[in-house]
Structure 1
């Protein structure tokens, strides 16, 4: 049971539910869209921000050295010493609160631990950095019963229609065209005439007979 009308966050990781009402390129734009819905008295507990294509971004802030490691360790230890000193001052019966000694001791221990830690990781990580999880786009989801109202309130802020998950885009590849080969159209191709019988080979004309000679003993020639 939830208190104050707040929905209970599922303990087991589950996919987000709802329809897509807006899409933004940065988290700040998505946050401003939710703030705008809250200003319009919209039930923002029905809204979910979903980041897609997550990336871990590590931004290098500077080069690490022994002086820098000592300074950062001393500052961190001094803050811890101040906190311990304030706790001791609450239960101290003496007139002076041990704030200054606690700050000095905390800073000294912080400096020592920071220098030792840097000496073990030197030449393997000689820089300081900060890490963030960044998404390439942020989608605003809303439950179906209030999705139309959320779209109407977010007009001009990147509102889009559709559902979750978004349908994948498919590209249609045109069919490859076959170039005509030599001697086109080929036999059997559409529009070509059916092949006819082969033409007979050409024969040489008969040689002319010599003129008849009556004095020839073989005259007249015998009939075949």
Structure 2
């Protein structure tokens, strides 16, 4: 593969510049990302060439966890608090760079304008969203496969079999 202006089409770390499907042979499959990370960590401890390894999330799903109920009071209160912090920071910066020394007026003005602006923006956003709850979204996989380049896949499988046996050598 070559890049339009020369070069290999890969970054300095060897990663492709464009989204590319993973390659390699499966050497392990795990229910959680943490278990897949642990497997790759085990390979690294055994001085295995982990640059040949890729963790692939399979059966991706978007999970939206509801974290609370929204109401006008909560939305406006959150908007006011966010605006207060932003306004204070802007006012502080303006007050510090005042030619007559530090002045309190820019801080108070920033606080008031920040509260007003953020409260209005929060009200507009909430009235247009038509959602009465807040949530956090997360992309998760049904399983996590560990792939390895063919040149070292068999060695990787043997090492991960040791991990499955509690870290003892197989045999």
TM-score by length of 1: 0.58
Answer with 1 or 2: which has the greater Rg.
Answer: 1
Q: Contact 1:19–1:147 (CA<8 Å) still a contact in 2?
A: yes
The residue correspondences of 1:83-122 to structure 2 (distance < 5 A) are 83-85=89-91, 87-88=93-94, 91-93=97-99, 94-96=101-103, 98-99=106-107, 101-121=109-129
Within 2, Cα distance between the matches of 1:110 and 1:131? 24
**Equivalent residue of 2:79, what SS?**
helix
Within 2, Cα distance between the matches of 1:87 and 1:153? 57
Following superposition, the deviation at residue 99 of structure 1 comes to: 4.5
Following superposition, the deviation at residue 90 of structure 1 comes to: 5.9
Q: Contact 1:24–1:137 (CA<8 Å) still a contact in 2?
A: yes
TM-score by length of 2: 0.73
1:59 maps onto 2:65 in alignment: yes
Runs of 5+ in structure 1 lacking a partner?
160-224
The 3 A distance-change label for structure 1 pair 72 and 153 is farther
The structure richer in helix per residue is 2
The 3 A distance-change label for structure 1 pair 61 and 154 is same
The residue correspondences of 1:1-224 to structure 2 (distance < 5 A) are 2-3=11-12, 6-11=13-18, 13-85=19-91, 87-88=93-94, 91-93=97-99, 94-96=101-103, 98-99=106-107, 101-121=109-129, 124-157=130-163
Following superposition, the deviation at residue 86 of structure 1 comes to: 5.4
| Greater RCO, 1 or 2 (C-alpha within 8 Å, sep 6+) | 2
Give CA-to-partner distance per residue, 1:8-46, whole Å, 9 cap, x none: 3231x3321011111100112112223333344443332
